[in-house]
Amino acid sequence: MSEPRTLSLLPWQVTLAEFIQKAGEVKEDGACCAFIVDPSIPKAARGGYASLVMAYSRADEPVCVLEDGALVLVRDGGMASGKALAERVFVQMRRLALDLTLTAGVALIGDDPSQSVTAARAAATSIPAGQVGTEG
Q: What is the pLDDT along the chain (136 residues), one digit of tens a residue?
A: 433 333 344 567 899 999 999 999 997 789 999 999 999 988 888 878 888 887 887 778 899 988 899 999 999 999 999 999 999 999 999 999 999 999 999 999 989 999 999 999 999 999 999 999 998 5
64 contacts 14 by C-beta, under 8 angstroms: yes
132 contacts 36 by C-beta, under 8 angstroms: no
Ordered by start, the domain boundaries in the chain are: 13-134
CATH superfamily of 13-134: Reverse transcriptase/Diguanylate cyclase domain (3.30.70.270)
Q: Give me the count of residues in the chain.
A: 136
What pTM was computed for the model?
0.88
What residue type is assigned to position 77 of the chain? G
Query: In the structure, how many helices (H) and strands (E) does the chain have?
Result: 4, 6
